[in-house]
Amino acid sequence: MPQILLTGGAGYIGSHTFVALREAGYGVTILDDFSNADASVIDRLGRLTQGPVDVVEGSVLDRALLDHTFAEKSFDGVVHFAARKAVGESVAKPLDYFETNITGLVTLAQAMRAAAVWRIVFSSTATVYGEPEVFPLTENLPLSHTSPYAFTKLTAERVLEQAAAADPFTVGVLRYFNPVGAHPSGLIGEDPRGIPDNLMPFIAKVALGEISELQVFGDDYDTPDGTCWRDYIHVMDLARAHVLSLEALMAGRGHVLNVGTGRPVSVLEMHAAYQAAVGRDLPYRIVDRRPGDVPRLYADPARARDVLGFSAELGLSEMCASSWNWVQAQAAGWRFNS
């Protein structure tokens, strides 16, 4: 059974990828410092995969821990999620983001090289496209950054590209658009700490009654209903893309790919879809634009289809229904979930 090290595997996308990898027949070890994940997720992952979950608690910045981990088990590859990912926070704490997201990646790659573990799937983001002028977004567009967070992801991509020129790394870079939704069991999902930044967890809090109304950040953009377009992709589709990426690396095929649906959705469309999933009105108010938002951001998904045979399958109603199911199960303490 091929063995994979999943850094940040206790997090939102990491936990869903853990389940997908286990179901695909991989052995998976999670390395996580639980700085942005509730430790209870490990028990819930065990319930989902009917077995023990191998966990190494610690940071990718801890080289000795990484060396020990690679000495303990022979890994066939790494899927690297462990990173700080809040755009706004990165503006306030750029050095923390450079340390975790760049130094952390370099430390991990050095430990991989020392252990001759050469396959890595890297979690990147569509914000490496900066403020694009042409749509849909293809992978050959020029890259730029509009935040320290985006700078770290762009730099990490280039670190891996240079490392692969010097050593036999096989690299899969996946540029996510907007991950949303949750596993249908309701046992794992997005679990932001404090007030959510992102749209769907915010609407979910309105649906739970924890927040009184959704604030729609501007309806004067150049889109049909005036609110921003984004390419929301179900986290179950995204997890499946990671399995396919790893399979390509096992066959020696590196890649840099957008992972999106190619179908833009506006803020008001997302609000309406969530309202339909909940079955009652969810109050919202149009407020000023949020600084830094771009009007449109959506993928050309063709290369992922051609290279990995990947296409997103789950639509907006499944994204909203699975999110609503998750937040209700979380509020109930998962007492009633299989």
The region of 5-13, 132-140, 196-204, 330-338 touching ligand WQD under the rule CB under 6 A is: 196-204
Which residues fall within 8 angstroms of residue 133, CB to CB, at 6 or more apart? none
Cβ 124 to ligand WQD shortest distance, Å: 8
Among the listed residues 26, 129, 149, 274, the single catalytic one is 149
User: DSSP per residue over 135-187, as a string?
Assistant: SSB-TTS--B-SSHHHHHHHHHHHHHHHHHHHS--EEEEEEE-EEE---TTSS
Q: What span, in angstroms and rounded, lies between the C-alpha atoms of 1 and 83?
A: 27
The residues in 113-172 that bind ligand WQD, with binding defined as CB under 6 A, are 125, 127
Asked if 26 and 49 touch (Cβ cutoff 8 Å), the reply is: no
- Whether 129 is a known active-site residue: answer no
Write the interaction track for ligand WQD spanning residues 76-105; mark x where CB under 6 A is met and - where it is not. ---------x-x------------------
Which residues fall within 8 angstroms of residue 11, CB to CB, at 6 or more apart? 32, 36, 37, 81, 82
Which residues fall within 8 angstroms of residue 291, CB to CB, at 6 or more apart? none
Q: Is the dihedral of CA 265, 268, 269, 272 positive or negative?
A: positive
Residue 137, token pair as written in the block: 């977004």
The region of 40-48, 55-63, 211-219, 315-323 touching ligand WQD under the rule CB under 6 A is: 211-219
Nearer to ligand WQD, 71 or 195 (CB): 195
Nearer to ligand WQD, 88 or 184 (CB): 88
The residues in 217-236 that bind ligand WQD, with binding defined as CB under 6 A, are 217, 228, 230
Q: Could you say whether residue 174 binds ligand WQD (CB under 6 A)? A: no
- Identified binder of ligand WQD from the candidate list 253, 290, 313, 317, rule CB under 6 A: 290
Which residues are identified as catalytic?
149
Interface residues toward ligand WQD, by CB under 6 A: 85, 87, 125, 127, 176, 178, 197-199, 202, 215-217, 228, 230, 267, 290, 293, 297
